[in-house]
Chain A
Amino acid sequence: MDGLTLFIQQIINGLRVGSVYALIALGYTMVYGIIRLINFAHGDFIMVGAYALFFTVPLMIAAGMPAWMAVFVAIIVCAITGVLVEKLAYRPVRAKGTNMSALITAIAMSLFLENLAQTLFGASPKQVKTIFDLPMIFGFSGNTFLTIAIGVVVMVGHSLFVKYTKAGQAMRAVSEDKSASKLMGINVNGIIALTFAIGSGLAAIASLMYVAQYNQVTNMMGSMLGLKAFVAAVLGGIGIIPGAMLGGLVIGIVESLSKAYIAPLTGGLITSAFSDAIVFSILIVVLLVKPAGIMGKNIGEKV
């Protein structure tokens, strides 16, 4: 295989991983934009969605329906989980706590979901049945293109929703100024719950894309995936929706290229085993050079 084919292959692989990251990053960024909270539990919503798929895919196949229809069940399960987490944990803490206690609550919820899944389903990985059975296209599995396509469609749909629907406008208003939107008659808590529901629903779609590729579910799968998606959200500018998409794709491509090229470029000193470290180094560089992210604006602090 010549160098160019390899390169294009890596880019396409990167886009595939990147579109998964982008969907997860959207969830992070929406929640951060609206309540200024890093929702550590967001990565674990993917795990919840993946378990929902694990249980409903066989049911769908038994009922004679296409396996991917299970994603609708996963979206509902994830949305309910997201809203419950918001209502039961984040809202009471937000009512009286500081930023720090909100962040600790988010970490606690993440641990809770991971360990609840472990208690319920065990720690060993579960195999999910094949969801899409597609032919190879140009030497890539059809899954790859389908994943990218789903990612693009969902991202475009999401942008249109936020831009043009009433709920989307309310969402943007709440993230701009909570008390002013309350005065304008917006149900702020309702909009926050809606944001969590949509963010978690996106995580469910991401879990479909992930599971279709790797066919595996574990209780810890959301942890690293979530962290990397978070890096993507920060890279694009947290709180900014197009930024999350851009960041996700960039992280996906960087990860896939670094896996392929870093060892020969550095003479074997840095191997592909470092790819997680490379993603985090990107985060560190971004935070130090331009903390507001690629698409963010620097806002001075009021004294």
Chain B
Amino acid sequence: MNQKKERLRKLWVSLLGVCVLGLAVYAADSLGWIDNYIRGIFIQCCFAIIMVTSLNLVMGYLGQIALGHAGFMAVGAYTSALVTKAIGLGIKAGAILPMSNVMQFFIGLLCGAVAAALFGLVVGIPALRLRGDYLAIITLGFGEIIRVIIQNLAFAGGKGLANGQAGQALVGILKMNDIYVIFGVTAVCVAIMLAFVRSKFGRAIIAIREDDIASSSAGLNITFYKVLTFTVSAFFAGIAGAIYAHRGLGTLQHSDFTFLKSTEYVIMVVLGGMGSMTGSVVAAIILSVIPEALRAFSQYRMLIYSVILVLMMIFRPIGLFGNYEFSLYELLRGKLTGKPPRSGRSAAKGGA
């Protein structure tokens, strides 16, 4: 089959998958199934998906552990919250033309993502000279530093901006809990990250993971690709942070972004499978929903996670999905034409 044609078809099928998912959300909404509680869980799933897939870029594709991902999330969250706050104040004072909440949210989201990416760049350039254990530790260090700094910034606490107070929770943040907007953002983010790992850059990164010395002698600029991945990963963590900040509670605390938060996302990546985007999405959804579904269980949540994690490392170190990607296209193709589905990395993915 013509390759270009097939690629186009894959794209259509994937888009179709996303639309079906969107319709499912719409149907659930119009049936009145989505109350505020479900909405909260839905949004939680969405930012978890973005966090886990973006962390998977570093852990699964670059093959390095980063233990400071919550730090980038914090940068995105605080930047976007302060930007939307500033816009809100500006509109009130008449300095800025009035605009819809969604517009304000998107401006905040972009600012948050760019700020997080800048932090990713600044952290990545020195940190990525190291690898393995040392990289894990240095990212942990940077994550904690970011959190301590935020904790001590006057404008990032209390009512924020001019009349802020250090060490307090930031309050009065714009509420943006429209599930369609959040769903759309999540789908776009996952699609971009998938495109990234399938691109020339993604192939280079995987080559570096497999053997950095060989790739370097094949002419790949290792530092460039490592820092690029790290920055892209931080960018999306910033978007996840922006969604988190506007999730409808209106408050933001520096203690939301501790080392523990980072490890929680590391657990999700590992369980889903390092190097599988679909695995990350599934793990993020399951591990966000289970504690909500089983309230009694939530007390033992981390205890059980840690046991599962150890068992996983002993019996299946590559995670549930390994590097398998689920693909709607391949599934349909198998069903319709009777051809056996091709597994592995070449498969495309439908839906988000």
Most buried by A among B65, B129, B134, B314: B314
The residue that B137 contacts in the complex, of A38, A89, A97, A276, with Cβ under 8 A, is A38
Which residues of chain B have C-beta atoms less than 8 A from A93's C-beta?
310, 313-314, 317
Minimum C-beta distance from A206 to chain B (A) = 20
B129–A104 CB distance below 8 A? no
A contact residues vs B (CB 8 Å cutoff): 36, 38, 89, 92-93, 96-105, 107-109, 111-112, 114-116, 119, 223, 227, 230-231, 234, 271, 273-274, 276-277, 280-281, 283-284, 287-288, 291, 303
Q: Of all chain B residues, which has the CB nearest A91?
A: B314
The residue that B310 contacts in the complex, of A109, A115, A288, with Cβ under 8 A, is A109
B138–A111 CB distance below 8 A? no
Binds A, one of B100-108, B192-200, B298-306, B329-337: B298-306
A107–B134 CB distance below 8 A? no
A283–B137 CB distance below 8 A? yes
Minimum C-beta distance from B295 to chain A (A) = 16
Which residues of chain B have C-beta atoms less than 8 A from A112's C-beta?
303, 306-307, 310
Interface bin, chain B:
35 or more
- Asked whether B291 is an interface residue with its Cβ less than 8 Å from the other chain, the reply is no
Which residues of chain B have C-beta atoms less than 8 A from A116's C-beta?
303
Which residues of chain A have C-beta atoms less than 8 A from B126's C-beta?
284, 288
- Asked whether B266 is an interface residue with its Cβ less than 8 Å from the other chain, the reply is yes
Minimum C-beta distance from B291 to chain A (A) = 13
Q: Of all chain B residues, which has the CB nearest A92?
A: B314
Given contacts A100-B132, A111-B263, A283-B137, 10 further A-B contacts (CB under 8 A): A36-B133, A38-B133, A38-B137, A93-B313, A97-B317, A101-B317, A104-B309, A105-B309, A273-B148, A283-B138
Question: How far is it, in angstroms, between the C-alpha of A281 and the C-alpha of B138 when the chains are bound?
Answer: 9
Which residues of chain A have C-beta atoms less than 8 A from B317's C-beta?
93, 96-98, 101
Which residues of chain A have C-beta atoms less than 8 A from B309's C-beta?
104-105, 107-108, 111
Contacts A/B (CB < 8 Å), 24 sampled: A36-B133, A38-B136, A92-B314, A97-B317, A105-B309, A105-B313, A107-B67, A107-B263, A107-B309, A108-B267, A108-B306, A108-B313, A109-B310, A112-B303, A114-B302, A115-B306, A227-B144, A227-B259, A230-B137, A276-B148, A277-B148, A280-B145, A283-B137, A284-B127
With A112-B306, A273-B152, A287-B138 in contact, is A223–B259 under 8 Å at CB? yes
- Asked whether B188 is an interface residue with its Cβ less than 8 Å from the other chain, the reply is no
B contact residues vs A (CB 8 Å cutoff): 63, 65, 67, 126-127, 129-130, 132-134, 136-138, 140-142, 144-145, 148-149, 151-152, 166-167, 213, 259, 263, 266-267, 270, 299-300, 302-303, 305-307, 309-310, 313-314, 317
Which residues of chain B have C-beta atoms less than 8 A from A287's C-beta?
130, 134, 137-138
B213–A271 CB distance below 8 A? no
Which residues of chain A have C-beta atoms less than 8 A from B148's C-beta?
273-274, 276-277
Which residues of chain B have C-beta atoms less than 8 A from A303's C-beta?
213
Which residues of chain B have C-beta atoms less than 8 A from A271's C-beta?
152
Which residues of chain B have C-beta atoms less than 8 A from A97's C-beta?
313-314, 317
A227–B129 CB distance below 8 A? no
Q: Of all chain B residues, which has the CB nearest A97?
A: B317
Question: How far is it, in angstroms, between the C-alpha of A276 and the C-alpha of B151 when the chains are bound?
Answer: 12
Number of A-B contacts (CB under 8 A): 113
B310–A108 CB distance below 8 A? yes
B266–A104 CB distance below 8 A? yes
Question: How far is it, in angstroms, between the C-alpha of A287 and the C-alpha of B132 when the chains are bound?
Answer: 13
Which residues of chain A have C-beta atoms less than 8 A from B127's C-beta?
284
Question: How far is it, in angstroms, between the C-alpha of A230 and the C-alpha of B152 when the chains are bound?
Answer: 24
A101–B313 CB distance below 8 A? yes
Q: Of all chain B residues, which has the CB nearest A284?
A: B141
Which residues of chain B have C-beta atoms less than 8 A from A107's C-beta?
67, 263, 266, 309
With A99-B133, A303-B213 in contact, is A104–B152 under 8 Å at CB? no
Question: How far is it, in angstroms, between the C-alpha of A112 and the C-alpha of B140 when the chains are bound?
Answer: 19
Which residues of chain B have C-beta atoms less than 8 A from A103's C-beta?
65, 133, 136
B149–A284 CB distance below 8 A? no
Question: How far is it, in angstroms, between the C-alpha of A107 and the C-alpha of B305 when the chains are bound?
Answer: 11
The residue that B130 contacts in the complex, of A36, A227, A291, with Cβ under 8 A, is A291
Which residues of chain A have C-beta atoms less than 8 A from B138's C-beta?
283-284, 287
Question: How far is it, in angstroms, between the C-alpha of A277 and the C-alpha of B140 when the chains are bound?
Answer: 11
Q: Which 7 residue pairs are nearest across A and B when measured between Cβ atoms?
A: A112-B306, A108-B309, A280-B141, A277-B148, A111-B306, A115-B303, A101-B317
The residue that A89 contacts in the complex, of B132, B151, B303, B310, with Cβ under 8 A, is B310
Which residues of chain A have C-beta atoms less than 8 A from B306's C-beta?
108-109, 111-112, 115
Minimum C-beta distance from B71 to chain A (A) = 11
Question: How far is it, in angstroms, between the C-alpha of A295 and the C-alpha of B244 when the chains are bound?
Answer: 44
Which residues of chain B have C-beta atoms less than 8 A from A288's C-beta?
126, 129
B137–A234 CB distance below 8 A? yes
Most buried by A among B145, B270, B305: B145
